[in-house]
Amino acid sequence: MKIIVCENYDGMSRRAYEEIKKVMTETGGECVLGLATGSTPLGLYKCMAADCEAGKISYEKTRTVNLDEYVGLPAANEQSYRRFMRDNLFDKIDILEENTRFPDGNAEDLAAECERYDELLEKTPRDIQVLGIGSNGHIAFNEPGTPFDGRTRVVELKESTIKDNSRFFASEEEVPRRAISMGIRDILQSKKILVLASGGNKAEAVRAMCRGEITERCPASALQRHGDVTVIVDAEAGAELC
Ligand code: PGA
């Protein structure tokens, strides 16, 4: 694992963008980016949008796959992850909408949808996967206790996650109780993995991910088994790494 501690959130975002730019340059933009939602990658997405708006980079040939989606929220709902990605990145870069993929949280047959997404992931190997990390060590919606060989599946959200995510909804009752999430095995299939973390509430999870025992109690510790992981954190999130 390569670990980079930056001074602050902006530095973390700019350094993360360097990693994305490297992949984009090496592939001439013809690559698959695995993308994540959440507050952490917003600065990275701003950097991507700014360079694209300035004509310095193009995503016309790029494909993306996202980690997860809520079950039961219409795609246009402000809190759906598809809408999040549209508002914070896709509408600001020249990517083609048909090249952006999500699990369909409104599919009639959710089990079949999980299988479809896994097949899609097999056919579209990611060049780099962007990840945030939960304060409990989760990656995507893979909460502590998730087997490392898990594939895409429907997950019941933990009370703590419902509480965390309620900040984006009018009330806790409105937070969906289920989501479709890539599994840890799917995440590990990406050629490169880029983990971002910011803030003191992530410091212990970052330590456990990088230096702790490899255990299902900390889903992110599975990343120690991958050969090409770059962890970029701000000073607060990296405080326990010494
Ligand atoms: P955050 O979420 O970026 O909003 O902190 C990260 C996560 O829970 O995976």
> What does the alpha-carbon distance between residue 69 and residue 178 come to, in Å, rounded to a whole number?
9
Helix (H, G, I), strand (E, B) or coil at 197: strand
Instruction: Name residue 5's beta-bridge partners.
Output: 233
Confidence of residue 75 (pLDDT cuts 50, 70, 90): confident
Distance 179 CA to ligand 1 centre (A): 15
Per-residue pLDDT tens digits for 29-57: 999 999 999 999 999 999 999 999 999 99
| Helical packing angle, 42-53 and 9-27, nearest 10° | 50
Structure tokens at 166: 């309620």
136 is a catalytic site residue: yes
Residue-level pLDDT at 164: 84
Residue-level pLDDT at 76: 86
Helix (H, G, I), strand (E, B) or coil at 166: helix
165 is a catalytic site residue: no
Q: For residues 172 and 163, is the Cβ–Cβ distance under 8 A?
A: yes
Catalytic hit among 19, 118, 138, 236: 138
Nearest Cα to Cα of residue 216 among 137, 159, 152: 137
Structure tokens at 127: 């060049």
What is the pTM assigned to this prediction? 0.96
> What does the alpha-carbon distance between residue 211 and residue 214 come to, in Å, rounded to a whole number?
9
Backbone angles phi, psi at 66, to 5 degrees: -100, 160
Residue-level pLDDT at 174: 93
Per-residue pLDDT tens digits for 122-165: 999 999 999 999 999 999 999 999 999 999 999 999 888 898 88
Per-residue pLDDT tens digits for 181-191: 999 999 999 99
Q: What's the whole-number average pLDDT of the chain?
A: 96
Distance 227 CA to ligand 1 centre (A): 23
Percent of the chain with pLDDT over 90: 94
Distance 96 CA to ligand 1 centre (A): 26
| Residue 127 CB-half CA count within 13 A | 18
Output the CA torsion sign for 142, 143, 148, 150. Answer: negative
Protein residues with CB under 6 Å of any ligand 1 atom: 38-40, 132-134, 138
60 is a catalytic site residue: no
